[in-house]
Amino acid sequence: MTKELKALISLHDVMPETFSEVKSVIKHLKELRIPPIILLVVPGRNWEASQLEQLGEWSCEGYTLAAHGWFHHVKHFGGLYHRLHAALISRRVAEHLSLNRSEEIELIKRSVGWFEMQGFPRPNLYVPPAWALGKIRRTDLALLPVTYVEGLRGIFRSESGELQPLPLVGYEVDTLFRQLFVRQWNQIQTRRALRAGVPLRISLHPHDFSLRLANDLKQLLSASYLTPLGIEATLGDA
C-alpha cells in the first residue's frame, strides 16, 4: 500500500500572457478537488484591470499569491554560467543570473512591493524564475521582505538562512529528450519523498496539461494518497 504523499503545489509563471491557461489549470485543479495552491505571480508585466481583479478573487478563495521575479525574461546573459544554465535548464527566464547581489535584492523588494501596491496581501514567499538565486548569499536573505525563499534544492527561511531540502518534480516538457530525463527525475524525486516521509514540491506551469507529461501529472494529482499542504505546514511552521 502506498504511503501518504504530502505535497506543496505551486503554479509558476502567472502573468498576462499565460492568464487564460492559468485559469484552465485552476479549473482543472478544482475538478480534481485540489485545495487552493500557491500562485507564482510575475509583477512586471502589463496587467489588465480584469486580470488583477481575478488575482484578488483567487486570493480571497484561499490561493496564496507569491512573488516570482519581476519580468521573467532575460535581455542579456550574465556570463558563461548563465549561458550554460539557459541552454540546459532555464532558456531565457533566469533573470537573477544577469544581476549582481544588490540588483537582485532590489528586484525582490520591488517584486514583493508590487503586491501591496495592488491591494493584495504581502507575499510571504519569493521564488526566482527557474529557482536561480544567482549571487545572493544566505546572509542576504534576512534583508528580504519575505519569510521564505525557494531555490532548486528546497526552501529557505529568510530570517535564519536555514534551508529545508525538499524533493521537486516538474512537468514543463516539450521535447523527447526532456520527456525522458524529466520523467526519470520525477520518479526518483517522488520515491525520495515517500521514503523519507517529507513533502514533495510539485511545480506546475500553465501549459503542463497539454505537454508530453500531462498524463503523468494527472495521475499524480488524482492519486488518493496525495495530501496537499500549505507552505507553513510543509515546513512545520503551522
What pLDDT is recorded for position 71? 84
What pLDDT is recorded for position 85? 42
Q: How far is CA 52 from CA 41, 45, 174, 188, in A?
A: 11, 12, 29, 38
Q: Decide if 109 contacts 144 (C-beta within 8 A).
A: yes
Quick one: cell of 7?
505535497
Q: How far apart are CA 184 and CA 186, in angstroms?
A: 5
Q: How far apart are CA 2 and CA 24, in angstroms?
A: 30
What pLDDT is recorded for position 87? 45
* Beta strand ranges found along the chain (DSSP E): 5-14, 38-41, 64-67, 125-126, 148-150, 154-157, 163-165, 168-170, 200-204, 226-228
- Residue 88's nearest CA partner among 9, 182, 10, 15 is 182
Q: Decide if 7 contacts 226 (C-beta within 8 A).
A: yes
Q: How far is CA 18 from CA 14, 164, 172, 206, in A?
A: 6, 30, 14, 6
Look up the pTM and report it: 0.93
DSSP string, 116-163: HHTTPPPPSEE--GGG--TT--GGGGGGSSSSEEE-SSEEEETTT--E
What pLDDT is recorded for position 188? 97
Query: Apex CA 114: angle with CA 113 and CA 119, to 5°?
Result: 100
From first to last of the 238 residues of the chain, give the pLDDT tens digit: 468 999 999 999 999 999 999 999 999 999 999 999 999 999 999 999 999 999 999 999 999 999 999 986 666 655 554 445 444 554 556 787 878 899 999 999 999 999 999 999 999 999 999 888 888 999 999 999 999 999 989 999 999 999 999 999 999 888 888 889 899 999 999 999 999 999 999 999 999 999 999 999 999 999 999 999 999 999 999 7
- The residues with which 14 forms a beta bridge, in sequence order, are 41
Quick one: cell of 134?
544567482
Q: How far apart are CA 107 and CA 156, in angstroms?
A: 18
What pLDDT is recorded for position 75? 66
Question: Radius of gyration (Cα) for the chain, nearest Å?
Answer: 17
